[in-house]
Structure formats: structure tokens, C-alpha cells
Amino acid sequence: MTQVFQRDPGSFRDPSGYVFTDGNRIIRSISPSALKEFEAVKVSGLLEVAIKRQLLIDCQPVSDGALSIVGKGGRGETPDALIEHPRIPVISYPYEWTFTQLKDAALRHLDLQMLALAYDFELSDATAYNMQFAAAGPLHIDVLSLRHYLDGRPWEGYNQFCRQFLFPLLIESTLGIAFQRIYRGNMAGVDPNDIKALIPAWRRHTSLNLFLHVQLQASAVQKASSNELSGRLIHVPKIPKTRYLAMLEGLRDWIASLESGRPKKTYWADYAAINSYSDQEKLDKQSFIESIIRGWGCDSVVDVGGNAGDYSESALAGGASCAYCLDSDIDALEVAYQKRKSRQPGLLPLVMDWSDPSPSQGWAGIERKALKQRMQVDAVIALAVVHHIVIGGNIPLEAFVDQLFAYGQSVIVEFVPKSDPMVQGLLRSRDDIFHDYTEENFVRLLESRSHIQAVCRIREGGRVLFACNSKMP
């Protein structure tokens, strides 16, 4: 049976190749103009080495007789060849990563660039969106961005690298400000003039790296813009390969030394240690989740308000291969990311406020997809979240329930009653207008959308977990 593949609507900028999918498999087309370069990368051995070192996504040739490509490239191109990539279940964006995640992605990008130079190739751009988190860590997903290095040609992706990797890292390391909201406000990244305005002049002039990559670059951008407006030609000096490589190595060493400058401790980072659960109650919750996920046979889960990923780990122990831990607390997610690196490659933390998830962005709103368009999973876990969204965020209880089932047909959700100390704290400084916030109404809303398969009451009259499956009769 012939499989039908359609072009991803967000794949239109790069004429060398476009991404097609049938919802499961990922096919990349190669245009006639890009095929020769791609074959040269293969013949050189760079492609094989980069894939083996897990710096570049794997790719395999595809016979077009086994599938049907609907439509052509964004400019009407007909491909000369097709290759297939392993599917990354959920595409994430750099403004959804923690400081350490963005730092690791930057280092891996530079590693690939330096490896390419050793084979007389380079990357044609430096967009952070081409880095994605696979089981082995961040890797580059655009195999067609490798091209021959021309002696003396400067690093054309330098400004983009700074805007999308370096400058966001500097916002957090130098200023102690979380970069995610600033980054999300501009898909292209942080403008050189903005980072120059944010970092005090005395710091820009007393640090060689800040002077070179912030002060001088902002000045160069201003000069280039002025020249373009006046119609004068811009002279771009040639850069020897040794200097090019030294620049990459210097940037790598500097970025590797950067640390977050934000205050390290937050309430939610230590939530697991200070909440009111006893050790046995926590074990009961973990056991319940592990058992339900195993019984459902879930492969992917999203853990809403997942904190440091404790219950994401329970889902992985229950047989899931991917657990996406969403939370707005960056410190807690840094803990979750260290768990990923040390023992849980299936755990991916993402900086996300469930009441304000990442929106669609870019040209016609199709280049960067909203979270809901990217994340359809087998099960949703939402523990100790409902009161924060409904009472803390003034979201109707019914709307909260609807949103859970919008991401998956199976849901494990915890209800926290008004008698709970956490809810009492939220209500202390405001009127209780939440007449719909009762366990009885919560159960009614769940039953109208699903079958409640199992219930785990944490304590009598207190918190309770519901396992709901909308696929069951």
C-alpha cells in the first residue's frame, strides 16, 4: 500500500529540502541544487562520523516508489532524492529549555561545526531550532545545512548563533534573569542591541568575551544596517580557517564555563521535600501511576506541573518510553534534566506554564507550532495542579478538565479539596468565588468525558487520584 506524505506547513524556507510526513514517518526531500553537496558530505565520511557521534540525526535513502509525496516544495521544487529520519516524538523549542539544556545544545552545535571543518565543510546556518533532544542528547536535525567550506569565508551563522544560543545564555548567566520569556517574544532570538543595552557598559568593557561578542557585534550590526540603508557596499574581510576554528573553540570554552546567575533556591524546587505528603503517601502515588501506565500500555506521557520529574519517572518505570515533564519552575526542571542525563533518557523537561503554553509563531503562524499541535500523547498526568490553575489562575474547572483530554485520551489527575492547606493558602487573600470547585463536580466532569477506571484516595477527606480513560466504554 502506497503511503501518502504531505509537506509540513512549517517547512518552506530552505529550498535545498523540505520535510514531509504521514503523521508517523519523517521524509526529507533533496532538491537538485542540494543533492551534489549532500553526496559530497556522504563521500567525505563526515555524515557517517557525525551520526555515529550522535551530533547529527540519522538518515537513510528512500525509494520514492514506496510512498506518495503530495505537493512540491515551497517554491514548486521537485525533489531529486528522498531520505528518511527517525521520528523525534515531540519537537521542542529553545525558549522551552532550561539554561543547562540550551547550554548543552549550544556546545553540541559547536562540536558539529568543528567536526565539519575538519572535513572541509561547515554549517550554513546556526539556528537553535535545528537542535532537538533525542535519547542520546541534543543533536542537529538538518543534514542539508552542511556545505563545503570555502577558504577565507567568515562564519555566516555567527550572528544567528549569538542571537539564539549565546545571548539568551548571557541574559541568565550575567544578569540573573530567566531568558525564556524574552526569547519567546522574538522567534529570531535576542537582538544584539538589546543584549548590549541589558549588560552594563563596565561589564562589556572589562570582559574580553563580552567585548568581542556583545559590544563589537552590536556596533557591527548598527554599521551594517547604516551601510545597507545608504546603499554602500559592505566589505567582509576574509578569515583564515585557523582563525575560524579558534573562534569556535573560544566560544565553546566560554559557553562551557557559563553558569546560571539566577537565585538557586525556589519553593517549588524543594517541594518534594517540604510538602505535606508522608513517605508512604508519596510511594502510594508513585505505585498507582506506575501500575496504571503499565496497564494502559502507554508509550508517551505528559506530566503537567511535573516539578522535578518524580512522577514522570514512575510513568517510565511503568513502561512509557517518553515522559515530558512540564513546569514553570526552572530550578525544579534543572533537577529533572540532571535525572535525564544521569539515568532517564526518556525524560524531557520543558519550561511551560500550563495556563500560558507556547503559542504558534512565525510566518502565518505556522513555522513554530503551538504546544497542543506538537504534543499528542497516550496519557496525561496532572498531580497537585488543579488548584493552581482553577483557583490560582481563575480558570473554570470544566475548562481545566477539557484541556487535559485535549492532549490525550487517558488522564491521571489529582483533585485537591478546599480543605487542603495549599488551597487554603491560595484563598487566604481573596474571596472564594469558586462554587464549582468540589470533588463531586470534578467527578461529574470526568465521568461525562471518560470512564473512571481507578481511584486512589491519598487520605480520607483529602487529596484523591483518578485514572480516567476516554477510550473505554
**Rounded to 5 degrees, what are φ and ψ at 421?**
-55, -35
Say if residue 428 is exposed, middle or buried (CB neighbours under 10 Å; 0-12, 13-18, 19+): exposed
Last-in-domain residue among 36, 59, 85: 85
Does residue 26 have a pLDDT over 70? yes
pLDDT score of 458 more than 90: no
The single-letter DSSP state of residue 389 is I
- 111 lies in the same domain as 66: no
Q: How many structural domains is the chain composed of?
A: 3
Three-state DSSP class for 236?
coil
Domain boundary among 202, 234, 257: 257
Residue at which a domain ends, from 225, 257, 289: 257
Q: Do residue 81 and residue 109 come from a single domain?
A: no
Which of 414, 416, 404, 410 lies closest to 383 in space, CA to CA? 414
**Domain identity same for 16 and 117:** no
Asked if the model's pLDDT at residue 273 lies above 70, the reply is: no
Highest mean pLDDT among 202-206, 235-239, 262-266, 280-284: 202-206
What is the model's pLDDT at position 269? 47
Q: Indicate whether 246 and 377 sit together in one domain.
A: no
Helices (H), ranges, 303-420: 310-317, 330-342, 371-374, 386-387, 397-407
> What pTM, to 2 d.p., does this model score?
0.93
* Same-domain status, 452 and 420: yes
Shared domain check, 200 and 127:
yes
Burial class (CB in 10 A: 0-12, 13-18, 19+), 63: exposed
Q: What's the one-letter identity of residue 285?
A: K
| Closest CA relative to residue 93, chosen from 198, 211, 10 | 10
Q: Tell me: do 178 and 273 sit in the same domain.
A: no
Strand partners, 380: 302, 411
Neighbours of 375 (CB within 10 A): 23
263, part of any domain: no
Q: Are residues 231 and 367 in the same domain?
A: no
One domain, residues 246 and 292: no
Average pLDDT on 369-393 reads: 95
Per residue in 79-130, pLDDT (tens digit) is 788 999 999 999 999 999 999 999 999 999 999 999 999 999 999 999 999 9
User: Same domain for 241 and 287?
Assistant: no
The SS3 call for residue 250 is helix
Closest CA to 381 of 466, 267, 282: 466
pLDDT for 281: 81
Beta bridge partners of 7: 20
The domain in which residue 338 lies consists of 268-469
Same-domain status, 12 and 102: no
In a domain, 53, yes or no: yes
CATH code of the domain in which 306 resides: 3.40.50.150
What percentage of the chain has pLDDT greater than the value 90? 73
Q: Which cell numbers hold the place of 409?
A: 485520551
